[in-house]
Amino acid sequence: MNQPSKLTQYLASTLLVGLILPVSLLAQFQSVFAKGKIQSARDNRATAREELDATKDTVKVAKDALAADTDNLALRIALNEAQAAKVAQRLALDQARLKVQQAKLDNGLNKGRITQEEYDGAIADIDTARGALNSVAETLHIGDDGAVGLSTSDPANILTLRAARRASVDAHDTKVRTAVIKTKVISSSAAIRGLVRFAEENGITNQVNTACGGKINTAQNNLASDDVKSGHLSLQEALKCVRGVVHSIDTAVTRPGGGDGGTEAIAPKPTVNISAASASIDSGTATYIAWGSQNTTHCVSSWGLSETVSVSGSVSTGALATSTTYTIKCTGEGGEATDSVTVNVKSLSTPPSETLTCVYLWGSWSTCPPIDGAEQSRTGTISVTQSNGGAYCKHYETETRSCD
C-alpha cells in the first residue's frame, strides 16, 4: 500500500489547521501583519528621506565648487549628476509616501473601517500619482537600483534633465500630495464615524453635537466643495474635538480612535486625596498624614526628596517647628492627579508687655548655721506659668534670706 508523501501530509495538515483555526486568531494575525506592513513602509519612507537629504548636500557642494570655477566642465557635469540623483531620490521618497498610504488603506478596508468605495477612490488617486512619478523615472532612465541612466555629460540631455526636475516637482505638488491628503481625509472620516457611533452607544451624542457639531459641519462643507486641503485641516479639528469629548468620560471603556480608524482604550481619570490626622499641632509635636488614590500606577511625594511612594498609605510628619504643606502626585493611564494638605504649627504666644507675677509653691526654709552672717534658703516649684516682664517663669526658683 502506497504511503502519502511528506508533502501531501504537510499540505493536508496545513489545510486542516486552516479550517479549524479560530476566526479571532486569524483576525489577530491579519492585524499584526497589517501593522508590520505599515511600519515597514514607514521605515522605507524614513530611509528615502535620509537619502534625499544626503543628495541635497551633494548638490550644494557641487554648486559651490562650480561657483568657484564656472568654466570647469567636469564640475558642471558633476553638478548635473548630483541634480539628476536628487530628482531620482525625490521620486523614491514620493513612492515611499504612497506605499505608506496604501498600507493604511489596506488595513482600514480589511478591518471594515472604510468602505470599498472610499478605498477604490483613494487607490485610483495613488495610481495616478504613481503614473506621474513613473513617467519622470522613464525620462531619466532610472533603473531598479535607483541609478539614473540618462547621460548627464551629454549637452543634449541637459534640457531633458531640467524638464524632469520640473515634472517631478509638479507630480509631487499636484498628484502625490493630493493622494496623500485624500487618504488622510478618508482615515479621519472613518475615525469620526467610529467616535460618533461610540457617542450614540454611550449616550453622549448631545455633548458631541454641542461641542463639535459646528466643526464637523465645516469639514463636511469643505469636502463637499472639493477643497481637499481645507477639508483635511478642518476634519482634523473636528476629530480632535470629538476625541476630547469622548476622553472626558470618566470610565474605562474601549472607543474608536487612531488616525486610520483604529481602537484605543479610554483610561479612567486618576484621583488622589491626602489628609492630616491633625490639621493644627503645637510646635515640636508630630501628626500623621494619609493618602489614597484610584486608577493610578504610582505616586510621588513632596517629602523625602520627592520619592516614589505607594498608591495609598500613611506617614508620620516627625516633630515640626513650622507649618508644612505635603503634596502628592499620582499617575495612571488616564493622566495625573495632585492633592495637598497643610499642617499648621502653633508657635508659642508672644509674651505680653505688662509685668505678671510668677506664682511658686515654696518649701520650708533651711536651718540657719551657727555662724555670723549666715543665710538660709528655700526652693519653690512653679504653680502658675505666667510671663514676668517679657521673660518666662522658671520651673524651679530658689530664694535666700539672712539668718539675723
pLDDT digits (tens, 9 = 90+) for 114-147: 888 888 888 999 999 899 899 988 988 888 888 8
Segment 349-371 shows an average pLDDT of: 64
3-state secondary structure of 12: helix
What's the chain's length in residues?
404
pLDDT digits (tens, 9 = 90+) for 368-383: 776 666 677 777 766 6
Segment 285-295 shows an average pLDDT of: 85
Q: How high is the pLDDT of residue 29? A: 54
Q: Can you tell me the distance from the alpha carbon of 147 to that of 151, in angstroms, rounded to the nearest whole number?
A: 11
Q: Can you tell me the distance from the alpha carbon of 63 to that of 72, in angstroms, rounded to the nearest whole number?
A: 12
Q: Can you tell me the distance from the alpha carbon of 118 to that of 381, in angstroms, rounded to the nearest whole number?
A: 97
Mean pLDDT of the residues in the chain: 76
Under the phi-then-psi rule, with left for phi > 0, alpha for psi from -120 to 50, and beta for the rest, what region is 162?
alpha
DSSP summary character for residue 305 = T
Q: How high is the pLDDT of residue 134? A: 92
Output 370 or 345, whichever has higher pLDDT: 345
| pLDDT > 70: percent of the chain | 75
Taking a C-beta distance cutoff of 8 angstroms, is the pair 311, 336 a contact? no
Domain coordinates in residue numbering, the chain: 30-202, 271-346, 359-402
Q: How high is the pLDDT of residue 254? A: 46
Least confident among 74-88, 241-255, 355-369: 241-255
Give the model's confidence band at 154: pLDDT under 50 very low, under 70 low, under 90 confident, else very high: confident
pTM: 0.52
**Could you tell me which residues are beta bridge partners of residue 340?**
327
Q: How high is the pLDDT of residue 353? A: 47
User: What are the C-alpha distances in Å from 79 to residues 52, 94, 152, 168?
Assistant: 15, 23, 9, 18
Least confident among 94-103, 164-173, 208-217, 392-401: 392-401
**Could you tell me which residues are beta bridge partners of residue 343?**
324
pLDDT over 70 (residue 384): no
pLDDT over 80 (residue 64): yes
Q: How high is the pLDDT of residue 127? A: 92
pLDDT digits (tens, 9 = 90+) for 230-274: 777 777 788 788 777 777 654 444 444 444 444 444 567 788 888
Output 191 or 135, whichever has higher pLDDT: 135
Q: How high is the pLDDT of residue 16? A: 43
What is the topology classification, in CATH, of domain 271-346? Immunoglobulin-like (2.60.40)
Ranges of beta strands (E only) in 206-262 are 253-256
End-to-end CA distance of the chain: 143
User: What are the C-alpha distances in Å from 127 to residues 103, 143, 145?
Assistant: 14, 20, 21
Give the model's confidence band at 316: pLDDT under 50 very low, under 70 low, under 90 confident, else very high: confident
| Burial class of residue 247 (count of CB atoms within 10 Å of its CB; 0-12, 13-18, 19+) | middle
Long-range CB contacts (within 8 A, 24+) of 340-343: 340/274, 340/302, 341/274, 341/275, 341/276, 341/279, 341/289, 342/276, 342/279, 343/276, 343/278, 343/279, 343/280, 343/281, 343/287, 343/289, 343/317
Q: How high is the pLDDT of residue 349? A: 53
Cα Rg of the chain (Å, integer): 41
